[in-house]
Amino acid sequence: MNTMAMCDRFERDGILQIERGQPLDPHFADCAACATAQRKYERILAALPHAEPEVQPPIGWQARVLRASDTNAEPAPRKAPASRPLAPEIAFSLGIAALLLAGGLGVGSRDVAVDVTGEPVVEPRVTVLENEPDTLLPTPEPLALAVPTGDGSENAEPPRAPRPVAPAPPRAPSRQDEPAPPPAPETRAESEARNEAKAPAPEPATNAEPIQAPSRARSYAPKIVRPAKLYGFDLKYPRMAAYERVQGEVSVQCTIRADGRNTNCRILRGLPFLDEPILQALSASRSDPITVDGRPVDNSDHIWRISITLREGNDQPATARGVPLVRWKNGI
Amino acid sequence: MTHVIAAGRAHGWGAVDDAPRKLGPDERAQEALACGDRRGALVLLMQEYGAAIHRYCHKVLRSRPLADDVHQLVFIQAFEDLGTFSGSNGFRPWLYAIANHRCLDALKANRRWFARFVFGEEPPEEMDAAPSAETQVAARDLPEALEACLGKLKPHVRIAVVLRYQEGFSYEEMARICRERPATLQARVARAMPLLRQCLENKGVDPR
């Protein structure tokens, strides 16, 4: 009886026979353990089609694919086989480059100057790396498609590495020139992409006045406002860093919550002795939330660039051991 | 399909209303290809198979962000290769073959990336024969537990099971998609079943 319970011939041979469409061994009809195993197998087979995750493609993916395919359609490049192994050095360099360009999804940056001598904070150099609006905000209406605003600054940044999204160049008018367009069914994504392609199409300069785009071809560009200030940024400048006179620029990526908290901060580019104090100071500080069309966005990534400069000069106060005394100005 | 008709009217294409609706998506995509409209064919394929391919990528990769990226890559590559598509077996196995290879590429790249890091060993846990109460509650539903168990299979085995019993391909179609022999895939599926049964029982689900 015990040997019957231990029989695993069905799982060893029976399942393979079923999968290959072969007749089952007569043993399985007599063996109770095999009959039980067969029932379990059939139950698993019945449940497998229902064991699917409920996931949907991301919003706007069709438009992104069409834009990328428009970009690729012109030169008709032949891709190298993607399965070819990449040299580790190249792969690592690409990974670092992608990390630095991580401007991609919801990431912008601000430069914040920190004067460690306690002087008033000056020169808030601002570098905005905009990203694609539709990564932040779903398309609000069926015919509106999120496109880059085209003011130059955000288009200068290449797209995030893993996403095959590229700014759509203005397409040459193709459909209009055709004498008899084939009655291919038009879909929403294609019509959106067509409207998007029509809008920036260069028109011959026959009139000095700007030509108004048709009403259906209007594009939607959400207004993204990123925080410029950190409140309560209290950096504890370590003694060793002061001794080594560490200064420079650090890049920290944080997730800004809707209430202005900076969470999940991580150093992208750090400085000796200063990484941990900067992370602590950022986590304890607050900023304005990132807003899209005036509405605060929760959990949006942001890159803070903090410039730490030691003031040079003879009036530098020093401790008895010669370490520069560091005073901090809060409220950056 | 309302938006299709509305878009056609907006562009002055009255013929869209009268287009025959009996053709399947594959035939319409073939017609678009025959007219040289690769873009139209791509749109049709995205509408018909977009969600299914995304689900398949997610099932193979077990990661939503990775699946989103690979899913778009699949259709971009499909657009590039539409000119050389023979059409002998239909678009569905062709798209799944592209998705399969791109998923394997992504898994390989991920594996290489994580191989660069040394993770600390997890602290030893005391063995308990009975599944935890949390596991029992979470895995009370067989399909839900089965979905979790599928994630524990090796990628090649998981691909075989998913293609066979979730996507409904025959072993011959699977052989073309995976570029393997049918007997190999049959053996993989057969070996996966005891593993799934064992995983379910560990989760406290008895598939009887």
> What is the set of domains in chain B, with CATH numbers?
24-114 (1.10.1740.10), 133-202 (1.10.10.10)
Closest residue to A184, CB basis, from B18, B40, B67: B40
Query: What mean pLDDT is predicted for residues A292-312?
Result: 83
pLDDT at B118: 66
Nearest chain B CA: its distance from A95 CA (Å): 9
Decide if A99 contacts A309 (C-beta within 8 A): no
pLDDT at B89: 81
Query: What mean pLDDT is predicted for residues B98-103?
Result: 94
CB contact under 8 A, B13 and A181: yes
B100 to chain A: nearest residue by CA? A83
Q: Which of A59-63, A208-212, A311-315 has the highest mean pLDDT?
A: A59-63
| Helix, coil or strand: residue A251 | strand
Cβ within 8 Å of residue A58, ≥6 positions away? B68
pLDDT at B93: 92
| Helix, coil or strand: residue B134 | helix
pLDDT at B126: 62
Task: Name the amino acid, one letter, at B72.
Answer: Q
Taking 50 as the threshold, does the pLDDT of residue A266 lie above it? yes
| Helix, coil or strand: residue A146 | strand
Beta bridge partners of A291: A225, A296
- Scored b (16 or more CB within 10 A) or e, A130-160 reads bbbbbbbbebeeebebbbbbeeeebeebebb
* pLDDT confidence bin for A224, thresholds 50/70/90: confident
Q: Identify the weakest region by mean pLDDT among A17-26, A205-214, B161-170.
A: A205-214
Instruction: Tell me the pLDDT of chain A averaged across its residues.
Output: 65
ipTM of the complex: 0.73
pLDDT at A208: 43
Sort A187 into a burial class: Cβ within 10 Å, 0-12 / 13-18 / 19+: buried
Closest residue to B101, CB basis, from A39, A58, A83: A83
Give A110-159 pLDDT, tens digit per residue. Answer: 545 454 443 333 333 333 333 333 333 443 443 333 333 334 333 333 34
Task: Name the amino acid, one letter, at A51.
Answer: A
* pLDDT confidence bin for B132, thresholds 50/70/90: low
More confident residue, B78 or A52: B78
A77 to chain B: nearest residue by CA? B80
Nearest chain B CA: its distance from A107 CA (Å): 16
A56 to chain B: nearest residue by CA? B51
* pLDDT confidence bin for A69, thresholds 50/70/90: confident
> Which residues of A fall within a CB distance of 8 Å from B159?
none
A184 to chain B: nearest residue by CA? B32
> Which residues of B fall within a CB distance of 8 Å from A187?
3-4, 7, 43-44, 47
Decide if B75 contacts B38 (C-beta within 8 A): no
**All structural domains of chain A:** 2-50 (no CATH), 109-129+224-309 (3.30.2420.10)
Query: What mean pLDDT is predicted for residues A31-55?
Result: 86
CB contact under 8 A, A183 and B16: yes
pLDDT at B56: 93
Nearest chain A CA: its distance from B122 CA (Å): 23
How far is residue A199's CA from residue A299's CA, in Å, rounded to a whole number? Answer: 32
Instruction: Tell me the pLDDT of chain B averaged across its residues.
Output: 81
Sort A274 into a burial class: Cβ within 10 Å, 0-12 / 13-18 / 19+: buried
CB contacts under 8 A, A 42-81 vs B, are 43-45, 47-53, 55-58, 61-62, 64-66, 68-70, 72-73, 76-77, 79
pLDDT at A58: 85
Give B1-53 pLDDT, tens digit per residue. Answer: 334 333 334 444 444 445 455 678 888 888 888 888 888 899 999 999 999 99
Decide if A172 contacts A247 (C-beta within 8 A): no
CB contacts under 8 A, A 160-179 vs B, are 162-165, 175
